[in-house]
Amino acid sequence: MIVAVGMSGGVDSTVTALLLQEQGHVVIGLTMQIWDGSVALPDEGRSGCFGPGEARDLATVRAVAERLGIRHVTVPLAEAYTRCVLDPFRDAYRAGRTPNPCVVCNTRMKFGLLLETARAMGIAFDAFATGHYARVAFDPARGLFVLRRGMDAAKDQSYFLSRLTQAQLRQTLFPLGEMTKPAVVARARTAGFGDIADREESQDFIESESYDPLFQPGDSHPGPLVDTAGRVLGEHRGIIHYTVGQRQGLGVATGDRLYVKEIQPQTNTVVLGRRAEVFSDACRAEDVNWIAGTPPPEGAACRVRLRYRHPGVGAQIRPLADGSWRVDFAEPQFAVAPGQAAVFDRDDEVLGGGWIAPAEDPTCKH
């Protein structure tokens, strides 16, 4: 079988290609080229998905592919990345939301346009593999593919894959899903890739410690910082700099520890509250993707993860008239941020995911 592997030059994708080779597959490395220099990001020497260090990463990937003895292809996707990932990211922050670009990138780019563009370039392959710590399997009883959490709980990346579809999972392999990160690193060393095992992992989706370079001066306007009673406490420097649950950098001193409770883009207002005021009993999830193709029954019990590394909480879900879903938590949750992905699980199976929406129902607040 011919397997295309999404390669970054890191240890996970390197070991993925190595394992597939050892299983007898013909492996082709694919890497997205997404940096076009249009954003004034400084080259800080960090490794990220988007930034001026891309040329170094591509050189590393090509060197790894040569050592493995596999073909490598760079797929030009800079314009698509701006349109599908960067622009929605900026729009979300301007709207007072906290976006998750990695969820979008996996769905639209890595498991979408990367494969479509590669095939349009004449590259033929039967399956696509990545170094994600997740598992995919066919369930004959239900006649569908299921996404499961990775065996290594500390590295599980199924959260970022919750918007994949049956068509995407049908052609997907996750060779690292049954492995732990230490085992992957050890495998790289024994295969002579100790230098790759020692590489620092990517820190974020851009090569910068700040998102500020992604925005224009006109994207940020000062406005009022208010408490939950509407009393003005100070002035914020623009809603793009704030997210629900934030405590640092608020610039107010009231004698209480305050957190961002809500961002109101219509009035350019940031609402602050004490920690107890930033808990929610429920949320709405919109644009929900159900991996099985159909939703679970109304009132179904599951667990929901509200951000990456969130441990998950028991929840009851039911559809709403506008197509979104109401999610009632078994216990109140802190800092439920609109724009983040809500990912639904049952045991170790990922049922799907949607986007946390602003709470229009007052009962969705603590």
List, for residues 83-92, the tens digit of each pLDDT value: 999 999 999 9
DSSP string, 188-245: HHHTT-HHHHTSPPP-EEESSS-SGGGS-GGG---EEEE-TT--EEEEES-GGG--TT
For the chain, the average pLDDT equals 94
Question: What's phi and psi for 363, nearest 5 deg?
Answer: -75, -5
Angle at 205 between CA 122 and CA 106, to 5 degrees: 45
Same domain membership, residue 141 and residue 77: yes
Taking each helix axis as running N to C, give the angle between helix 11-22 and helix 181-190, from 0 to 180 degrees, rounded to the nearest 10: 70
Question: What's phi and psi for 58, nearest 5 deg?
Answer: -65, -40
Same domain membership, residue 353 and residue 247: no
List, for residues 182-197, the tens digit of each pLDDT value: 999 999 999 999 999 9
Same domain membership, residue 128 and residue 249: no
- Which is higher by pLDDT, 47 or 366? 47
Give the torsion sign (CA, 15, 350, 108, 238): negative
The percentage of the chain sitting over the pLDDT mark of 70, rounded to a whole number, equals 96
Same domain membership, residue 307 and residue 273: no
CA dihedral of 143, 145, 151, 156, whole degrees rounded to 10? -150
Pairing type for strands 71-76 and 26-33 reads parallel
pLDDT of residue 276: 97
Same domain membership, residue 185 and residue 80: yes
* Boundary of a domain, candidates 182, 206, 230: 206
> Average pLDDT of 27-39?
94
* Boundary of a domain, candidates 151, 178, 206: 206
Residue 212: inside a domain: no
Q: What is the DSSP letter of 76?
A: E
Please choose, from the candidates 12, 21, 342, 341, the residue with its C-alpha nearest in 3D space to the C-alpha of residue 174. 12
Global pTM value: 0.93
Same domain membership, residue 340 and residue 325: yes
List, for residues 260-305, the tens digit of each pLDDT value: 999 999 999 999 999 999 999 999 999 999 999 999 988 888 999 9
Please choose, from the candidates 363, 362, 290, the residue with its C-alpha nearest in 3D space to the C-alpha of residue 323. 290
Q: How confident is the model at residue 363 (pLDDT cuts 50, 70, 90)?
A: very low
Task: Give the domain extent around 308.
Answer: 279-364
List, for residues 89-134, the tens digit of each pLDDT value: 999 999 999 999 999 999 999 999 999 999 999 999 999 999 999 9
